[in-house]
Amino acid sequence: MSNPDHPPAVGVLDQGPELIFPPGFLWGAATAAYQIEGAATEGGRTPSIWDTFSHTEGRVVAGHTGDVACDHYHRMPSDVRLMAELGLKSYRFSVSWPRVQPGGSGPANAAGLDFYRRLVDELLGHGIEPWLTLYHWDLPQPLEDAGGWPARDTAGRFADYAELVADALGDRVTYWTTLNEPWCSAFLGYGSGVHAPGRSDGADAVRAGHHLMLGHGLAVQALRASRPEAQLGITVNLYPVTPASDAPADVDAARRIDALANRFFLDPVLRGSYPTDLAADLREVTDFGHVRDGDLAVISTPLDLVGVNYYSRHVVAAPVEGAEPEPYWRAPSCWPGSEDVRFVTRGVPVTDMNWEIDTPGLTETLRRVHEEYSDLPLYVTENGSAFVDAVVDGQVDDVDRLAYFDAHLRAAHEAINAGVPLRGYFAWSLMDNFEWAWGYTKRFGMVWIDYDSQARIPKSSARWYAEVIRRNGLAAQ
């Protein structure tokens, strides 16, 4: 950014030879519709499960909702100008299903589509590649009322919605991802219930996971038919899972959590089968009777890319009597059939989410996807950290977040050196936003949002990231 009052943050870029990324590396930042747009009842938009959930007492910290969020719906042109000032090569956003197809079925809503057409045109006009995610958790409420993701029909509704968006935006968007983090939709939404729609049933969570992937496969087929030249993929949130010791019971605990967190999605999508150990682990929960002949062929419809979201590592151990369950997303009910597994904290530095900072885990995760699953181009579609920020003299010096990005970019570079075809990196998030069950109490943004005035202040990490993008790299350490 060229603002004389705000020189680039002093940091690692000031020393040494550079660590350069491959030419054309796609440097971006990501957001999601419900987390930033606001305008919850405008332009024909109808409620999603997150509107209902956040308006239900006790579900979201301090009763926060996405009604206004970052008011991006009204401030979109200036937000895109800010992205251009940061030098972003790409912007990953999600389309709000209930904005473009109110109620989740039937015809498109012209006003809703128009917002995304204007967004995409604004991005292209600034030389920023649009990266569109179809589903970042905002299921139209009537589809939840009809059974939600545990119901098979929702997969078909999702494919219809994908087609409708492809018809409207397919001429100007090259990069498409179907789902964002289906593990969260399935296991936090229907297993632990800490996310919308707030249901808590292990079998429903497993069914939801399957139907999300079925919807993904059907959507890929619809998109491919409509736009053969598009680059299509899915975004999964992956975690290395490490046993706390080499005791066989701990190693087995790690195998079980790895099956639920990672292989539940990677195997069907990239290999066309469920892991056999998963079915055995879940035998008390479900008989997988919801999986029909032909589903796995649909789910494994060929892709052009895989998006990986990386935040942390799970370290797990076998149960011990009387141990306290961990809070939030490590709640036992997130892990049907493996509720007894303990999540171990190692005492290493954590972010404001209490997530352990584990930089090598990014290299490990990218290498695993490439070496065990696929030669497809990979993109880090999210990586970032929440920290407590403060505005001092009009500036936000987020040194911890900057260091987090720096370390993870080094880990990404290491993966490239190890042969991973990593083609891009999206910082989570462009701006502070509605952090789901945590409301506005957690800040992940490179840009500070003042939720009273809606002022935007690029933090030190944003100015540093702009410089990384400009140089296409970092200084070597």
The answer to whether the peptide bond before residue 78 is cis (omega within 30 degrees of 0) is: no
Identify whether the C-beta of residue 250 lies closer than 8 Å to the C-beta of residue 316.
yes
Q: Which is nearer to ligand IFM, 147 or 439 (CB)?
A: 439
Terminal CA-CA length for the chain: 24
Active-site residues: which are they? 181, 382
Name residues whose C-beta falls within 8 Å of residue 421's C-beta, 6 or more positions apart in sequence: 370, 375, 376, 377, 378
Q: In this structure, what token pair is assigned to residue 366?
A: 């990218």
Closest CA to 383 of 276, 461, 299: 461
- Shortest separation between residue 436's beta carbon and ligand IFM, angstroms: 6
Identify whether the C-beta of residue 232 lies closer than 8 Å to the C-beta of residue 303.
yes
Alpha-carbon distance of 93 to 32, in angstroms, equals 5
**Per CB under 6 A, 358 contacts ligand IFM:** no
Q: Which is nearer to ligand IFM, 21 or 436 (CB)?
A: 436
The site for ligand IFM, by CB under 6 A, has a size of 8
Residues 378-437 that bind ligand IFM (CB under 6 A): 382, 428, 435
Name residues whose C-beta falls within 8 Å of residue 358's C-beta, 6 or more positions apart in sequence: 240, 312, 313, 348
- Shortest separation between residue 229's beta carbon and ligand IFM, angstroms: 28
Identify whether the C-beta of residue 383 lies closer than 8 Å to the C-beta of residue 310.
yes
Alpha-carbon distance of 406 to 221, in angstroms, equals 38
19, 32, 155, 369: residue in contact with ligand IFM (rule CB under 6 A):
32
In which residue are the tokens 């790895």 written?
A: 258
- Shortest separation between residue 474's beta carbon and ligand IFM, angstroms: 23
In which residue are the tokens 């999300």 written?
A: 212
- Shortest separation between residue 435's beta carbon and ligand IFM, angstroms: 5
Identify whether the C-beta of residue 25 lies closer than 8 Å to the C-beta of residue 477.
no
- Shortest separation between residue 382's beta carbon and ligand IFM, angstroms: 5
Q: Which is nearer to ligand IFM, 52 or 472 (CB)?
A: 52
- Shortest separation between residue 194's beta carbon and ligand IFM, angstroms: 12
| C-alpha separations of 188 from 105, 339, 436 in Å | 25, 14, 11
Q: Which is nearer to ligand IFM, 32 or 282 (CB)?
A: 32
The number of beta carbons lying within 10 Å of the beta carbon of residue 302 is 9
- Shortest separation between residue 209's beta carbon and ligand IFM, angstroms: 16
Q: Which is nearer to ligand IFM, 274 or 310 (CB)?
A: 310
Pairing of strands 456-458, 447-449: antiparallel
Identify whether the C-beta of residue 280 lies closer than 8 Å to the C-beta of residue 337.
no
Residues 438-457 that bind ligand IFM (CB under 6 A): 444
- Shortest separation between residue 47's beta carbon and ligand IFM, angstroms: 19
What is the residue type of 101? Q
Residues 306-335 that bind ligand IFM (CB under 6 A): 309
Q: Which is nearer to ligand IFM, 98 or 473 (CB)?
A: 98
Q: Which is nearer to ligand IFM, 389 or 435 (CB)?
A: 435
Alpha-carbon distance of 267 to 274, in angstroms, equals 6
User: Closest CB to ligand IFM belongs to which residue?
Assistant: 32
Q: Which is nearer to ligand IFM, 32 or 260 (CB)?
A: 32
State the binding string over 167-206 for ligand IFM (x if CB under 6 A, else -).
--------------x-------------------------
Q: What are the backbone angles phi and psi of residue 268, rounded to the nearest 5°? A: -60, -45
Pairing of strands 305-309, 378-383: parallel
**Where along the sequence are the contacts to ligand IFM (CB under 6 A)?**
32, 35, 181, 309, 382, 428, 435, 444
